[in-house]
Amino acid sequence: MTPMYLWIMAFHIIAVIAWMAGMLYLPRLLVYHCAAEKGSVQSETFKLMERRLLRGIVNPAMIATWVLGLWLAWHVADSRHALLLPGWLWAKIVLVLVLSAVHGLFARWVKAFGADQNQHSARFYRIINEVPTIIMIAIVLLVVLKPF
Ligand code: HEM
């Protein structure tokens, strides 16, 4: 591992931490937002918090995680072909695609709350809150243990 590879991996992990912090906190805000009266000061404050968290942290952190992750993957790939990746990395990329889809749903729900058109209950967002947690645990086990 070259010093450059280690620097990129360090910033990859920093971006991952920021992305996961947002992915675990955002649905929590949506849970509490469900209890706020439409048009109330509380609801308008939640809208601002959700929008700023999404645009200021979660979106840029996801982009940085992908860009740095793909750079690392390119260096892990077999020298014969960039797509000759180890099994654990393919499994990891599939899980990150699922996580990115969940990110997309969060962005859609933040937009719905922004327009006072939320369709889901607090219980729904509490259950959804567990999804990024479970995916994150599986990804970290894959990349650290490299089981296959
Ligand atoms: C976006 C797609 C991603 C790609 C292509 C990717 C790829 C990689 C690669 C190739 C490494 C280096 C592995 C090594 O040399 O040992 C790495 C390290 C790491 N990745 Fe990712 N990654 C991605 C997203 C994520 C996500 C979403 C998480 C966590 C939720 C994550 C957590 C980690 C961790 C913790 C390490 C350090 C592992 C170690 O030090 O052994 N990555 N990643």
Cα dihedral 114/120/126/127 (nearest 10):
-130
Determine if the pTM surpasses 0.75.
yes
**Surface-to-core class of residue 68, CB atoms within 10 Å of its CB (0-12 exposed, 13-18 middle, 19+ buried):** buried
The answer, yes or no, to whether any atom of ligand 1 lies below 6 A from the CB of 22, is no
Measured from the Cβ of residue 137, the count of other Cβ atoms closer than 10 Å reads 10
Between the CA of 140 and the centroid of ligand 1 the distance, in Å, is: 7
Question: What CA–CA distance (Å, rounded) separates 31 from 47?
Answer: 12
Among 7, 72, 94, 99, which residue has the most ligand 1 atoms within 8 Å of its CB, making it the best to mutate?
A: 72
pLDDT in tens, the chain (148 residues): 889 999 999 999 999 999 999 999 999 999 999 999 999 999 999 999 999 999 999 999 999 999 999 999 988 876 666 677 889 999 999 999 999 999 999 999 999 999 999 999 999 999 999 999 999 999 999 999 999 9
Closest to 89 (Cα-Cα) out of 67, 71, 73: 73
